[in-house]
Amino acid sequence: MDPFVFPGLTTRVIFGSGTLAQVGAEVERLGHSRVLVLSTEGQQADAEALSARLGALSAGVFAQAAMHTPVEVTQTALAAFKASSATAVVSLGGGSTTGLGKAIAIRTGADQVVIPTTYAGSEMTDILGETAGGQKTTRRDPGIRPEVVIYDVDLTLTLPPALTVTSALNAIAHAVEAFYATDRNPVITAMCREALPAFRDGLPMIARDPRDTEARSQVLYGAWLCSTALGYVSMALHHKLAHVLGGSFNTPHADTHAILLPHTAGFNGAAVPGLLAPVTEAFGTSPGAGLWDFASAVGAPLRLADLGLTEADLDRAADIAVQNPYANPRPFDRSAIRALLQDAWEGRRPA
Ligand code: NAD
Written as one string, the DSSP assignment of 141-156 is: -GGGS-SEEEEEGGGG
Same domain for 138 and 271: no
Asked if residue 174 has pLDDT above 80, the reply is yes
- Ligand 1 atom closest to Cα of 254? 25
Which atom from ligand 1 is nearest to the alpha carbon of 41?
A: 11
For residue 1, name the pLDDT band (cuts at 50, 70, 90). confident
**Ligand 1 atom nearest 128 alpha carbon:** 41
Mode of pairing for the β-strands spanning 111-116 and 88-93 = parallel
From the alpha carbon of 157, which atom of ligand 1 is closest?
18
Q: Are residues 176 and 122 in the same domain?
A: no
Q: Whose CA is nearest to atom 20 of ligand 1?
A: 159
Report the separation in Å between the CA atom of 288 and the middle of ligand 1, taken as the mean of its atom positions.
Answer: 25
d(CA 293, CA 147): 38
- 237-249 and 253-269 helices, crossing angle to 10°: 150
Q: How far does residue 244's CA lie from ligand 1's centre (Å)?
A: 18
| CB 30, CB 166: distance < 8 Å | no
- How high is the ipTM of this complex? 0.99
For range 326-337, the mean pLDDT: 96
- pLDDT at position 123 is 98
How far does the centroid of ligand 1 lie from the alpha carbon of residue 40, in Å?
9
Q: Supply the residue whose CA is at minimum distance from atom 28 of ligand 1.
A: 95
Q: Sorting pLDDT into bands at 50, 70 and 90, what band is 325?
A: confident
Residue where one domain finishes, among candidates 129, 156, 183: 156
Q: Does one domain contain both 100 and 219?
A: no
Backbone dihedral angles phi then psi of residue 131, each to the nearest 5 degrees: -115, 130
pTM of the complete model: 0.98
Q: Looking at residue 79, what is its pLDDT? A: 98
Tell me the residue type at 92: L
Q: Tell me how far apart the alpha carbons of residues 275 and 110 are, in angstroms, rounded to a whole number.
A: 39
- Average pLDDT on 331-336 reads 97
**Pick from 206, 171, 205, 211: nearest CA to 191:** 171
Q: Whose CA is nearest to atom 36 of ligand 1?
A: 95
DSSP for 219-270, written as a single string = HHHHHHHHHHHHHHS---HHHHHHHHHHHHH---HHHHHHHHHHHHHHHHHT
253 Cα to the center of ligand 1, angstroms: 8
Ligand 1 atom with the shortest distance to the CA of 67: 32
The residues, any chain, with a CB within 8 Å of residue 152's CB and separated by 6 or more, are: 16, 17, 18, 19, 20, 115
Residue nearest to atom 9 of ligand 1 (CA): 42
pLDDT at 281 over 80: yes
How does pLDDT run across 291-316, given as a tens digit for each residue?
A: 999 999 999 999 999 999 999 999 99
Domain holding 233, by residue range, is: 161-346
**Distance from Cα 317 to the centre of ligand 1, integer Å:** 23
CA distances from 308 to 254, 268, 303, 305, 325 (A): 15, 26, 10, 6, 28
Choose the final residue of a domain: 156, 181, 216.
156
Structural domain contains residue 94? yes
Contact 171, 195 (CB under 8 A): yes
Segment 182-203 mean pLDDT = 98
Q: How distant, in Å, are the alpha carbons of 172, 222, 327 from that of 219?
A: 10, 5, 29
Residue-level pLDDT at 136: 84
Instruction: Let me know whether 97 and 190 are in one domain.
Output: no
Are residue 109 and residue 167 in the same domain, yes or no?
no
DSSP 6-46: ------EEEEESSGGGGHHHHHHHTT-S-EEEE--GGGHHH
Average pLDDT of span 278-289: 97
Q: Do residues 138 and 173 share a domain?
A: no
Domain end among 156, 176, 199:
156
Ligand 1-lining residues (CB < 6 angstroms): 40, 42-43, 67-68, 93-97, 99, 117-118, 120-122, 125, 127-129, 155-156, 158-159, 163, 167, 230, 253-254
Give the N- to C-terminal CA distance of the chain in Å, as an integer. 31
User: Cβ neighbours of residue 162 under 8 Å, at least 6 residues apart?
Assistant: 299
Q: Atom 17 (ligand 1): residue with closest C-alpha?
A: 159
C-alpha distances out from residue 186 to 175, 194, 292, Å: 13, 12, 27
Query: Is there a domain that residue 1 lies in?
Result: no
Q: Is the pLDDT of residue 134 over 80?
A: no
Q: What is the pLDDT of residue 93?
A: 98
Instruction: Give residue-wise pLDDT tens across range 222-247.
Output: 999 999 999 999 999 999 999 999 98
Query: Ligand 1 centroid vs 7 CA: distance in angstroms?
Result: 27
Total domain count, the chain: 2
DSSP characters for 262-295? HHHHHHHHTT-TTTTHHHHHHH-S-HHHHHHHHH
Query: How many whole angstroms from 94 Cα to the centroid of ligand 1?
Result: 3
Let me know the angle formed at the C-alpha of 134 by 112 and 335, rounded to the nearest 5 degrees. 105
Residue 64: is its pLDDT beyond 80? yes
Between CA 183 and CA 126 the distance in angstroms is 16
Element (H, E) at 187: helix 186-208
